[in-house]
Amino acid sequence: EKEGYPHYMIKEIHEQPRAINRTISPRIKDSLPFFEDDNIPDSFFEDCSDITIIACGTAMYAGMVGKTFIQNKLGIPVNVAIASEFRYERPVITDKSMVIVVSQSGETIDTLEALRLAKKYTQKTLSVVNVKGSSIARESNYVLYTHAGPEIAVASTKAYTVQVASMYLLGCKLGLVTNRLSVEDAKEFINNLTKVPEMIKTVLTQEDKVAELTKRMTNATNAFFIGRGLDYTLSMEGSLKLKEISYIHAEAYAAGELKHGTIALISDGVPVIAIATQDHVYSKVISNIREVKARGAYVTLISKDEVITDKTICDVHIHIPPVADEFTIFESVVILQMIAYYTSTGRGVNPDQPRNLAKSVTVE
Ligand code: F6R
């Protein structure tokens, strides 16, 4: 079943190009988003005052990508809620609010209960779910299945990338229906999305290089992931992945926030994984990296630059092929998944079965 791979996790990392194809192809027609086969009518996207995205863990980090994208591209306010928090606090949503619930399993109890609560306020609920016929899929007003195929490894990989792709398709449709996005821009965006599977294949060829760099990580006790904008949301995902399967304490920080306290923790040899793929804040991240480098951090930088040899910036540079800023996330996340995977195996942990964790959290 592992098709020759040593673990499900690495198999699922490699499955991402296929998984994304399965998610996006049925939802694209004439280079525009198309949800008729999912029975999601255009009226669902009309008259939307604000959006609340509810999920847990990795699914929530996919939601954060959706938030950044929708706010920046469409200017519609988006709130991302941790399901276990949302369900016990006062929901600030109305019948004009759209609620998007994201879950691979469709059975996470906090997410399900949060959905039930949200439905008391709005019927504009949509779930982005992988497992067919699951509770969350059944109880939401609309459902977009991600078609990633079964995800066996506890650490989510392909489920995340298809969730992000789904958020992009939904955001694009929302923009078109509300006239916040031109048909021309939407087509260009969707064409870029269709190139993602090939982009990921290119990134996967760097597997040996990533495996090599993790040798420097296996003895670490702390690690930091930093970035800005979409790269910040991605830092959270990279940090969670490393923690859960390698047991190394990791933190994600918005790069500009480090200097407000956390930089005190940077000392000689502390691994910092920096992501700098967003053009509008690129120089800002680079100067943040210089600050940690000057304090002795061991910096791995992921960026679109061909090469970086300046040792005042980074110790290891990972190049990702230059694509539009919204799409680098699909490339960078594959690098972060492989960093977590090889650090885990390098420490003798079975990444498919990390301690204390279950694939689907159906109890509170
Ligand atoms: C991390 C991971 C978890 C899940 C979370 C939500 O790698 O897999 O954080 O993302 O437990 O699970 P679902 O998506 O099934 O609701």
Residues 6+ apart with CB under 8 A from 60: 53, 80, 82, 83, 102
- Residue 307 Cα, ligand 1 centroid: separation in angstroms? 35
- Residue 267 Cα, ligand 1 centroid: separation in angstroms? 32
pLDDT over threshold 90, residue 364: no
Q: Where are the alpha helices (DSSP H) in 119-182?
A: 135-139, 158-177
- Residue 58 Cα, ligand 1 centroid: separation in angstroms? 5
Q: What is the average pLDDT across 225-230?
A: 98
pLDDT for residue 358 = 80
Among 164, 361, 363, 364, the mutation site with the greatest number of ligand 1 atoms within 8 A of its Cβ is 361
Give percent helix, percent strand, percent coil of the chain, each to the nearest 5: 50, 15, 35
pLDDT for residue 16 = 98
Instruction: Summarize pLDDT for 152-211 with one digit per residue, the tens.
Output: 999 999 999 999 999 999 999 999 999 999 999 999 999 999 999 999 999 999 999 999
- Residue 339 Cα, ligand 1 centroid: separation in angstroms? 19
pLDDT over threshold 90, residue 362: no
Nearest CA to ligand 1 atom 10: 58
pLDDT for residue 357 = 83
The atom of ligand 1 lying closest to the CA of 163 is: 14
Integer angstrom CA distances of residue 363 from 8, 86, 141, 151 = 24, 16, 24, 20
Are 288 and 255 a contacting pair, CB within 8 Å?
yes
Residue 212's Cβ-side half-sphere holds a number of Cα atoms within 13 Å equal to 7
Instruction: Summarize pLDDT for 279-300 with one digit per residue, the tens.
Output: 999 999 999 999 999 999 999 9
The atom of ligand 1 lying closest to the CA of 105 is: 15
Does the complex come out with an ipTM higher than 0.95?
A: yes
pLDDT over threshold 90, residue 361: no
pLDDT over threshold 90, residue 359: no
**Confidence band (pLDDT; 50, 70, 90) for 48?**
very high
Among 7, 56, 64, the mutation site with the greatest number of ligand 1 atoms within 8 A of its Cβ is 56
The atom of ligand 1 lying closest to the CA of 241 is: 7
Nearest CA to ligand 1 atom 7: 155
pLDDT over threshold 90, residue 355: no
- Mean pLDDT over all residues of the chain? 97
pLDDT for residue 285 = 98
Instruction: Summarize pLDDT for 9-37 with one digit per residue, the tens.
Output: 999 999 999 999 999 999 999 999 999 99
Q: What is the average pLDDT across 98-125?
A: 98
- Residue 348 Cα, ligand 1 centroid: separation in angstroms? 23
What whole-number distance in Å separates Cα of residue 50 and Cα of residue 32? 23
- Residue 286 Cα, ligand 1 centroid: separation in angstroms? 31
pLDDT for residue 175 = 98
- Residue 308 Cα, ligand 1 centroid: separation in angstroms? 35
pLDDT for residue 150 = 96
* Coil vs helix vs strand at 55: strand
For 290, other C-beta atoms within 10 Å of its C-beta total: 15
Pocket around ligand 1 at a 6 A CB cut-off: 56-59, 103-105, 108, 111, 155-156, 240, 244, 360-361
Among 84, 105, 110, the mutation site with the greatest number of ligand 1 atoms within 8 A of its Cβ is 105
Instruction: Summarize pLDDT for 84-95 with one digit per residue, the tens.
Output: 999 999 999 999
Q: Buried b vs exposed e over 156-177: b needs ≥16 C-beta within 10 Å?
A: bbbbbbbbbbbbbbbbbbbbbb
Among 108, 109, 144, the mutation site with the greatest number of ligand 1 atoms within 8 A of its Cβ is 108
pLDDT for residue 128 = 98
Are 148 and 130 a contacting pair, CB within 8 Å?
yes
